[in-house]
């Protein structure tokens, strides 16, 4: 009922252990609370909270318009619902070094297991758009060092994302990753790599866990979990996938309603009332108040 009973400290310890396990973890991106519960219900290792999705949720493009308050609130709303670890997108850290320190503590208080901070210049943009620019190595490493210094729970994972591949190429990416590791990063998110060979090169350049971003309609190809495992990837995110799937279904349903004047033909594609109630655990609330779930749903509901 209500929220997860697993303390944030435990989820962080679990996340660390999972990253060190040699497994390839899969974290789909939740686009709201109940989708986070669905991800957990389906047995995934964790949940990702995406800046792109949170921006879209507000009807905004992913170009650095969302604020620390908006992102950390969304992260908290999701982290408290699930027992599995949550990784959140902290963009460029929402300001300069002191802001970044505050960002870390806000996300710690939100109960997430870790965040990633990128080396784009402000204002950042989606990593799969053209025209990105990155900060110099000194600024990039300072961001990570400030983040590591600000955390109060040593298990809180500070992942360094670098966007340098699309700007300066692979050799610069490998240099940047080594510098980010030296600055105290716990894990590396090499954004927009162009092939599995490039993941292998990153694997050879660092001993830290690495993340692969399997975002659709991006710069790179979509690889399977096994392919990514074989090149040494530790964690895969599918950041916007569920939002895209849900919005695709929503478009089809709206088109159908426009042409037929009813949603009758779409009902078979919809999540049922009983499945929604199951995910929201209506029944569990009866322990508190037995009048809440005192109705019966028929099998087709």
Q: Which residues of this protein are in contact with ligand MIC, per CB under 6 A?
A: 50-52, 62, 89, 126-128, 213, 215, 218, 239-240
Burial of 86 (0-12, 13-18, 19+ CB in 10 A): buried
Residue 89 region, left (φ>0) first, then alpha (ψ -120 to 50), else beta? beta
Q: How far is the CB of 200 from ligand MIC (least distance, A)?
A: 21
CA distances from 127 to 25, 72, 106, 130, 134 (A): 21, 20, 24, 8, 11
Question: Residue 113's closest CA among 139, 90, 146?
Answer: 90
- Cα–Cα distance, 260 to 267 (Å, whole number): 13
Give least dist CB 297 to ligand MIC, A. 35
- Give the residue nearest to Mg ion (CB): 51
List CB contacts of 294: < 8 A, sequence separation 6 or more.
286
Q: Which does 213 bind (CB under 5 to 8 A by kind): Mg ion, ligand MIC, none?
A: ligand MIC
Q: Is there a catalytic annotation at residue 62?
A: yes
Q: What element of type H or E holds 212?
A: strand 211-213
Which of Mg ion, ligand MIC, none has residue 16 at its interface (CB below 5 to 8 Å by kind)?
A: none
67 or 301: whose CB is closer to ligand MIC? 67
Catalytic choice (74, 108, 125, 126): 126
Tell whether residue 51 is a contact of Mg ion (CB under 5 A): yes
Write the binding mask 189 to 218 for Mg ion: x where contact by CB under 5 A, - elsewhere: ------------------------------
Show which residues are catalytic. 48, 62, 89, 91, 116, 118, 126, 161, 191, 213
- Name the site residues for Mg ion (rule: CB under 5 A): 51, 89
């Amino acid at each position: 009922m209500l929220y997860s009973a697993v303390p944030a400290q435990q989820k962080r310890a679990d996340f660390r252990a999972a990253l060190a396990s040699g497994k390839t973890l899969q974290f789909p991106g939740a686009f709201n609370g109940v989708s986070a519960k669905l991800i957990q219900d389906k047995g995934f290792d964790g949940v990702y909270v995406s800046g792109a999705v949170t921006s879209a949720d507000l009807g905004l493009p992913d170009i650095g318009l969302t604020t620390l308050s908006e992102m950390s609130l969304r992260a908290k709303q999701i982290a408290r619902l699930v027992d599995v670890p949550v990784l959140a997108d902290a963009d460029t850290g929402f300001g300069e070094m002191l802001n970044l320190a505050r960002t870390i503590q806000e996300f710690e208080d939100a109960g997430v297991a870790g965040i990633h901070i990128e080396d784009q210049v402000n204002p950042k943009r989606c990593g799969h758009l053209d025209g990105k620019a990155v900060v110099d190595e000194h600024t990039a490493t300072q961001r990570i060092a400030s983040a590591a210094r600000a955390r109060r729970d040593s298990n809180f994972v500070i992942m360094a994302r670098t966007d340098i591949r699309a700007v300066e190429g692979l050799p610069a990416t490998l240099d940047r990753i080594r510098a980010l590791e030296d600055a105290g990063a716990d894990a590396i998110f090499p954004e927009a790599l162009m092939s599995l060979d490039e993941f292998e090169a990153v694997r050879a350049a660092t001993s830290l866990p690495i993340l692969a971003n399997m975002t659709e309609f991006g710069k790179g190809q979509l690889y399977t979990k096994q392919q990514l495992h074989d090149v040494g990837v530790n964690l895969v995110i599918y950041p916007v996938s569920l939002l895209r799937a849900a919005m695709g279904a929503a478009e089809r349903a709206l088109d159908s309603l426009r042409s037929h004047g009813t949603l009758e033909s779409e009902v078979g594609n919809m999540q049922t009332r009983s499945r929604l109630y199951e995910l929201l655990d209506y029944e569990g609330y009866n322990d508190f108040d037995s009048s809440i779930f005192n109705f019966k749903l028929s099998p087709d509901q």
